[in-house]
Structure 1
Amino acid sequence: MSRSSTPVGTRTGSGWVIGRVGGIPVVLAPSWVLVAAVLVTLYFPVVRRLVPTAGMGTVVLTTLAFVVMLLVSVLVHELAHGLTGQRLGARPREYVLTFWGGHTSFETELPGPGSSAVVSAAGPLANAALALAAWGAVVSLDPTGPGLLILWGAVLSNGLVAGFNLLPGLPLDGGQILEAIVWAATGDRNRGTVVAAWGGRVVVVAVLLWVLGRPLLEGRQPNLSSAIWMILLGAFMWSGAGQALRRAEARRSAEGIDLRRLALPTLVLDDAATVSQVENALAGQGAAVVLVHAGRPVAVVEPSAVRDVPYEHRSVTPVTAVARPLAPQQVVTALTGPEAVTAVSVAQRHGPVVVLHDGVTVLGVVEVAAVARALQSRRP
């Protein structure tokens, strides 16, 4: 079952599918339940203090409305990334709402630094637009009580999310923009990733010094809850920067990869063939078999699957009965370098092999495991 057809309510590896936007699943990670509980705990006494005349029911509803508003803000942020990426040639795979906000994964990498920067900026700009809209509602509607709290919460939370995400370090959106700037200036994406990853670590140190060091210099104790949140956020960002550095190293290893050198001997047949015809074409060879329909690869057949069909049934059994259908992602047209390795990485979610195709001809079958071994051998 593909992700796009996963029913709402299904638990996936990322969380629970709670809906779809443009056919792309929106997934709620289990960690979001934890952050919602923490937000309710922290915000409830604030609402009671600021609206002392409100009843308990109003306080509870106001608190829950604030949490839902944050969920919507995060979703808008991720949708801005995904919809912008889709317009620039990278289809989103899923939108995931997590403890630290969310992330949008794409089926393919963005084609260049310009598109990467635009997609990265779209999320914070969406939050900035929400903050301005909420501020406009405060000014024009002149709300009071719980309504005023919710709107000011929207102004402050979206403003902070927009501003913080634009800080120049990975894994923040500002780090993605910095990576794109260095990439465009040097022509080397890996260098951009390394610079932005170390930028992320500088941001972590700067934020912690601001939150923890500034009060101490002023002779005050740091706020405990703020300190805990900043330490957790710093750990998350430091880990994300480390992952980016490892990703840059993996890309360097991929630069000399040519998938054609890893291809198995391959036999290409029409998908209307019978098992007997495939057996005759193989003639005892151990080649991989690719079935095509109107010139497009649609399935692969393992020789062992052909041999498992009883001899007397081989002439009447269509080979599609023992074939393994190919997902579109398993037909790879990028043949060299990081783009090829990325395509194989995406395809491995659907099967253990990929079929190389130049748009006209099948060039061979490559095992995902062979690509992994080739990458490992190139690493220092």
Structure 2
Amino acid sequence: MPSTGTARPWYDRPLRLGAVAGVPVAVSTSWILVTVGMVAIFAPQIRRTLPELGWIAAGAVALVYTLILAVSVLLHEVAHALAARSVGWRDSSIEITLWGGHTSFEAHEESPGRSLFVSIVGPLVNLVLGGLGLVLQQPWAPQGVSELLLYMAVWSNFAVGVFNLLPGLPLDGGRVVEAIAWKITGSQAKGTIAAGWAGRVVVIGVVSAVVFALVRGGFTPGPLTFAALALVLVPLWTGAGRSLQHGRLRLNLEGMQASTLLRPVQLLPAGASVAGAEAAGVLYGTVVLATAPGGGLLRVLPEAVLAVPESLRGGTPATQAGVPADDGAVVSPDADGDRLARAALESISGTVLVVDESGRCVGAVRREDVVAAIQARPRKEPQQ
């Protein structure tokens, strides 16, 4: 699965292994915990299949199987990374985790076709590996350790490939749905929303099928079956929910334009006070700028004005309530939401000046207004 991080707990920290084709590879400590669990689950099954093996040998075979599965997941993620590199997306890295693995990269000039290509190659690698193994596999039941490992590798690759093609984010199949809907609608946000709903439909469908089978009878799943279903369905449901939220926020971003969020701009004369900034409308939406003593512009912040007692505002320089505003955050009136949001985030003061073709400043956009628009919240002014 293509996919970034803050401080992580001890049971989910990356351990650097090296690099494959120049792509850094790490394994999460959570994978080590899962390996122990998988060995405990598969060793008894292996011993039942090959009763001549002792417990230690069965555990060793189970461990080898988990390593084969990890290599399959690694090849899946390497395919994503190399595909991303081929379309110009840089800074790829791979991590094998509790849920299998993910590839991180910085996407540039995204398009439905590129997203589809990068997403689909991972599952295809697993399906191809499974198909090659199927050619080598004998049609009869495994009779030895090597045949058993081949059998398990074949079907685990098929399982990884098919599972990742389920049409719901954050799985690869969800990104395929996203790319197709993006191509049809022309909106990546609508594609993300469609993929999020697809993921929820998959979960509801699987749960409904299990409930129907239980009610009808003839299906008596054990604890391991329910645990496996939960391990698959819970992350898929929560991932679909995050995708829906992200898609809705991005849809608001796509519909945003600098001209719709304009605030009036007032430049104070040199030596103006905080009271002058208040009179200019800083508390009611006007972006008030003051000239710094050493040159340059400062944006007078409403919250900084309110922090000054009313009795002192007339004698307090407006520059003491300001932050640097001439940091290059300038856009045109027709700047789209993506450009506007990036400029607002990069601005020291949280202010984006809007300049028309003639070079005239026609207004400004505040970072807080951009955030409110993305979250579909009404714009608010500070209250005295």
* Band of TM-score, shorter chain: 0.5 to 0.7
**Within 5 A, what are the aligned runs for 1:270-285?**
284-285=294-295
SS at match of 2:168: coil
| Counterpart residue identity of residue 75, structure 1 | L
Rounded to whole Å, the distance in 1 between the matches of 2:211 and 2:348 is 49
Contact 1:211/1:222 (CA < 8 Å) preserved in 2? no
Rounded to whole Å, the distance in 1 between the matches of 2:231 and 2:50 is 31
Rounded to whole Å, the distance in 2 between the matches of 1:344 and 1:34 is 43
Rounded to whole Å, the distance in 1 between the matches of 2:231 and 2:142 is 35
Q: TM-score, normalised to structure 2's length?
A: 0.66
Equivalence for 1:375: 371
- Once the 2 structures are TM-superposed, how far is the Cα of residue 231 of structure 1 from its aligned partner? 2.0
Higher mean alpha-carbon deviation, 105-114 vs 60-69, is at 105-114
Rounded to whole Å, the distance in 1 between the matches of 2:295 and 2:12 is 39
SS at match of 1:97: strand
Per-residue CA deviation, residues 186-240 of structure 1 (Å, 9 max, x unaligned), is: 2122111111110100101112233443243224432321112212321101110
Equivalence for 1:202: 201
Gaps of 5+ in 1: 1-10, 263-281, 289-330, 357-362, 364-369
SS at match of 1:170: coil
Equivalence for 2:62: 63
- Once the 2 structures are TM-superposed, how far is the Cα of residue 54 of structure 1 from its aligned partner? 2.2
Rounded to whole Å, the distance in 1 between the matches of 2:293 and 2:348 is 25
Equivalence for 2:182: 183
Equivalence for 1:46: 45
SS at match of 1:94: strand
Rounded to whole Å, the distance in 2 between the matches of 1:187 and 1:107 is 22
| Counterpart residue identity of residue 71, structure 1 | A
Equivalence for 1:130: 129
Gaps of 5+ in 2: 1-9, 264-291, 299-328, 353-358, 360-365, 378-384
Equivalence for 1:20: 19
Rounded to whole Å, the distance in 1 between the matches of 2:82 and 2:128 is 16
SS at match of 2:137: helix
**RMSD across aligned C-alpha pairs, in angstroms?**
4.0
Equivalence for 1:322: none
Q: TM-score, normalised to structure 1's length?
A: 0.67
**Within 5 A, what are the aligned runs for 1:222-261?**
222-255=221-254, 256=256
Rounded to whole Å, the distance in 2 between the matches of 1:132 and 1:51 is 25
Rounded to whole Å, the distance in 1 between the matches of 2:367 and 2:107 is 18
Please identify the structure whose Cα radius of gyration is greater. Answer: 2
Equivalence for 1:305: none
Rounded to whole Å, the distance in 1 between the matches of 2:233 and 2:164 is 13
Equivalence for 2:93: 94
| Counterpart residue identity of residue 125, structure 2 | A
Rounded to whole Å, the distance in 1 between the matches of 2:335 and 2:32 is 42
- Once the 2 structures are TM-superposed, how far is the Cα of residue 23 of structure 1 from its aligned partner? 3.6
Structure 1's 373 and 202: CA in aligned 2 closer, same or farther, altered over 3 A? Answer: same
Rounded to whole Å, the distance in 2 between the matches of 1:338 and 1:150 is 52
Rounded to whole Å, the distance in 1 between the matches of 2:211 and 2:22 is 44
| Counterpart residue identity of residue 153, structure 1 | M
SS at match of 1:232: helix
Rounded to whole Å, the distance in 1 between the matches of 2:164 and 2:130 is 14
- Once the 2 structures are TM-superposed, how far is the Cα of residue 18 of structure 1 from its aligned partner? 2.0
| Counterpart residue identity of residue 37, structure 2 | V
- Once the 2 structures are TM-superposed, how far is the Cα of residue 76 of structure 1 from its aligned partner? 1.0
Rounded to whole Å, the distance in 1 between the matches of 2:336 and 2:19 is 33
Equivalence for 2:275: none
Runs of 4 or more, structure 1, over 6 Å off, are 341-345, 351-354
Rounded to whole Å, the distance in 2 between the matches of 1:226 and 1:353 is 54
Rounded to whole Å, the distance in 2 between the matches of 1:66 and 1:344 is 50
Contact 2:47/2:53 (CA < 8 Å) preserved in 1? yes
**Within 5 A, what are the aligned runs for 1:287-366?**
336-337=335-336, 339-340=338-339
Contact 1:120/1:177 (CA < 8 Å) preserved in 2? yes
Over the matched positions of the two proteins, sequence identity in percent amounts to 34
SS at match of 1:26: strand
- Number of paired residues? 296
Contact 1:167/1:203 (CA < 8 Å) preserved in 2? yes
Equivalence for 2:111: 112
Contact 2:12/2:30 (CA < 8 Å) preserved in 1? no
Contact 1:81/1:104 (CA < 8 Å) preserved in 2? yes
